[in-house]
Chain A
């Protein structure tokens, strides 16, 4: 067609098959779990039970000591609980911060956000897909520790019926289920932080800045939690009831603190998800 020849007839709209709104969510999971970085993070988390297990084995401890760690040598199942508990203050928040910080800022810095929005992904749906992928990552992170703790604990230590904090004993199978419950509760405990990370990530085009800011916020909240003079605000701080997961090892489980913790996480998540939504739906994407 030469530049000046008569223009052609416009195309008739092509027939469209049904709608596939979930494809983006699947693609989002592929993006998170298809990256080497994610697997490195999970590998580090899987290394936590291994490190603790080997240290305890080498120390020659025989069990019956203080806390979950003290009980590992007596019953390998406690390696799962101890590893989850020890990963909660630092390793798990770091991993969540990395993935959350990358989520929107990463797309923005690569320029792929433009392609997604003109696809069109829809800004609200894209944000929802990012959040779902984050939740799945939180679960994957704690379940990785659960699985690694299970393998290492059973390989290095004797296992058997589980003596609970309340003094009763439950069979090993139920003990494993309770440990799985702890993994899930801890994953849910990370959602407030994930929400903060998602929001911060919507503010910038630099993933590293988003990660740093999110982690900085986490540390400030941690410091505030440690200052006794301001204990009036403590119940409202992100990680105040993080240790409530141990209540799952009572008989019957004590749900009060766990419930309050999950409610607080839901509150943080709602506020910051809404803020991220307000930001992403109004922002100029350049």
Chain B
């Protein structure tokens, strides 16, 4: 498993430098954020609700002006070059927003018409393909008022898919979807990534990052506290030695004598940070001490535990 290292800024489709947003009243929503999204990556932008993800995304897309710092999308400065850059960027910002009195298709046509680079002759055909891709072909003519939240979410993704994009910026794309819909959107993201589109997706769901992302950044209280490839993050996680046994006391003492630190005992297990010894040495020592072993092994903590450790905050964890 080789993981590509972060690429130089020149090739990165999304870079921010010292990006800061201070709202009126002095609240700092985003504090000096330096993002660098590698080309072709699926970049998970992770953080608890209220950590500044959506504000950052709004600044990326030129919807709100940064108090300080800069944004480069596809190598050009935002918001200055937005009319040139944004046609090549598909966006979904803070939940789906549509004209409820229009059909899903009519909504797609309207937003496509707002892009002066979009060819009106192919507009209907492209809307049809986008609806097909998100599984809404049957509801194309239905008023959005009658759509479920999940259908609106998929329609919002269809807006981003109306054209071939080099970069997709998606804010919580699986929000409001049922498990089946969530799976479909994740597959869609992987498909698009397979085509070479760089995808920047915010989420407060760790499962999402574990399943689809190649890279991740973690926001907490407006600050970017970590940014790396998912593989690197995983590699850093020290595995924990877990022994399942009814002889908790003896097991704990034995492990301690072998230099295992951070020992924790639960009803059925003893676990701790394993030192450099080969794992079978621990097994042999436990057996020699007459510990009855029901289970034995190394367990890697999940990303969730790491991120909770990083942010000191809980995450909403899916499933």
**Interface membership of A66, Cβ < 8 A:** no
Q: Is B180 an interface residue (CB 8 A)?
A: no
- Say if the beta carbon of A6 comes within 8 Å of chain B: yes
Q: What class of interface size applies to chain A in its complex with B?
A: 35 or more
Of chain A, the residue at the smallest CB distance from B86 is A120
Contact A20 B116 (CB under 8 A): yes
Provide the bound-state CA to CA distance between A118 and B159, in Å. 11
The answer to the question of A61 belonging to the interface, with a C-beta cut-off of 8 Å to chain B, is no
- Considering the complex, which residues of chain A in the window 77-129 have a beta carbon less than 8 Å from any beta carbon of chain B? 110-112, 114-122, 125-126
Query: B65 at interface (Cβ–Cβ under 8 A)?
Result: yes
Within 8 Å by CB of A11, from B41, B64, B94, B197, lies B197
A272-286: contact bitstring with B at CB < 8 Å (1 yes, 0 no)? 000000000010111
- Residue A229 lies at the interface, judged by CB distance under 8 Å to chain B: no
How long is the Cα–Cα vector from A6 to B4 in the complex, in angstroms? Answer: 6
- Measured CB to CB, the nearest residue on chain A to B234 is A4
Tally inter-chain residue pairs, CB-CB below 8 A. Answer: 150
Is B166 a contact partner of A285 (Cβ separation < 8 A)?
A: no
Distance (Å) between the CB of A123 and the closest chain B CB? 9
Give the residue name and chain of the B residue nearest to A124 (CB): B83
Report the separation of the CA atoms of residues A21 and B87 in the bound assembly, to the nearest whole angstrom: 13
Q: Is B310 on the interface with A (CB-CB < 8 A)?
A: no
Contact B111 A114 (CB under 8 A): no
Using CB atoms, name the residue of chain A closest to B95: A111
- From residue B191, how far is it (CB to closest CB) to chain A in Å? 9
Asked if residues A115 and B212 are in contact (CB atoms below 8 Å), the reply is no
Q: Cβ of B195 and Cβ of A120 under 8 Å apart?
A: no
Residues of B near A227 (CB, < 8 A) are none
| Distance of B73 from chain A, by nearest CB (Å) | 11
B236 to chain A minimum Cβ distance, whole angstroms, is 14
Most buried by A among B113, B114, B159: B114
Q: Which residues of chain B come closer than 8 Å to A121, judged between CB atoms?
A: 114-115
Which residues 1-43 in A have Cβ within 8 Å of B in the complex? 1, 3-11, 13-14, 16-17, 19-21, 23-24, 26-27, 30-31, 34-36
Q: Which residues of A have CB within 8 Å of B87?
A: 16, 119-120
Nearest-neighbor residue (CB-CB) of B166 within chain A: A11
Contact present for B116 and A284 (CB under 8 Å): no
Known: A10-B11, A35-B101, A111-B94. A116 touches B65 (CB 8 A): no
For residue B53, give the distance in angstroms from its CB to the closest CB of chain A: 14
Complex-state Cα separation, A11 to B214, whole angstroms: 17
Q: A11-B196, A122-B83 are in contact. Are A285 and B2 (CB under 8 A)?
A: no
Task: Please indicate the chain A residues that have their CB under 8 angstroms from the CB of B100 in the complex.
Answer: 110
The residue on A at minimum CB distance from B122 is A17
Cα of A241 to Cα of B164 in the assembled complex, Å: 54
Residues of B within 8 A of A120 (CB): 62, 82-83, 86-87, 114-115
Partner of B91, one of A6, A19, A118, A122: A118
Evaluate whether A20 and B214 lie within 8 angstroms (CB atoms) in the complex, with A7-B4, A112-B98 already known. no
User: Across the interface, which residues of A come within 8 angstroms of B64, CB to CB?
Assistant: 284-286
User: Is B222 an interface position by the 8 A CB rule?
Assistant: no
In the assembled complex, which residues on chain B have CB atoms less than 8 Å from the CB atom of A118? Answer: 61-63, 86, 89, 91, 93
Assess the A9–B63 pair: CB atoms within 8 A. no
Q: Report yes or no: A24 in contact with B113, Cβ–Cβ below 8 A.
A: yes
Residues of B within 8 A of A7 (CB): 4, 38-41, 214
> How many Å from the CB of A160 to the closest CB on chain B?
45
A187 to B: closest C-beta gap in Å:
26
Question: Does B102 reach chain A (CB closer than 8 Å)?
Answer: yes
A14 touches which of B164, B211, B214 (Cβ 8 Å): B164
> Which residues on the A side are within 8 Å of B93 (C-beta)?
114-115, 118
Q: In the assembly, what is the distance between CA of A11 and CA of B2, in Å?
A: 21
Q: Does B139 contact A (CB under 8 A)?
A: no
Q: Please, which residues of chain A bring their CB within 8 A of the CB of B115?
A: 119-121
Q: With an 8 A cutoff between CB atoms, is B141 at the interface?
A: no
Least Cβ–Cβ distance between A33 and chain B, in angstroms: 13
List of A residues within 8 angstroms of B86 by Cβ: 118-120
Q: A1, A3, A5, A284 — which one has the most chain B CB atoms within 10 A of its CB? A: A3
List residues of chain B with CB within 8 A of the CB of A111. 94-95, 97
Q: Shortest distance in angstroms between A106's beta carbon and chain B's nearest beta carbon? A: 9
Q: Give the distance in Å from the alpha carbon of A59 to the alpha carbon of B181 in the complex.
A: 67
Contact B195–A11 (Cβ < 8 Å): yes
Q: Chain B residues with Cβ under 8 A from A35's Cβ?
A: 101
18 pairs of residues in contact across A and B, judged by CB atoms under 8 Å: A4-B1, A4-B214, A6-B2, A6-B4, A7-B41, A11-B166, A11-B196, A20-B117, A24-B116, A26-B113, A31-B99, A31-B110, A112-B97, A119-B111, A122-B116, A284-B63, A285-B63, A285-B64
Nearest 3 interchain pairs by C-beta:
A111-B97, A119-B114, A120-B86
B positions within 8 Å CB-CB of A: 1-4, 11, 13, 38-42, 58, 61-65, 82-83, 86-89, 91, 93-95, 97-102, 106, 109-120, 159, 163-164, 166, 190, 193-198, 210-214, 229-231, 234
Taking A3-B211, A27-B113 as given, write out 18 further A-B residue pairs in contact, using a Cβ cutoff of 8 Å, ordered by the A residue number: A6-B2, A7-B38, A9-B40, A10-B196, A11-B166, A14-B88, A19-B116, A27-B110, A27-B114, A110-B98, A115-B114, A116-B111, A117-B61, A118-B63, A118-B86, A120-B86, A120-B114, A284-B65
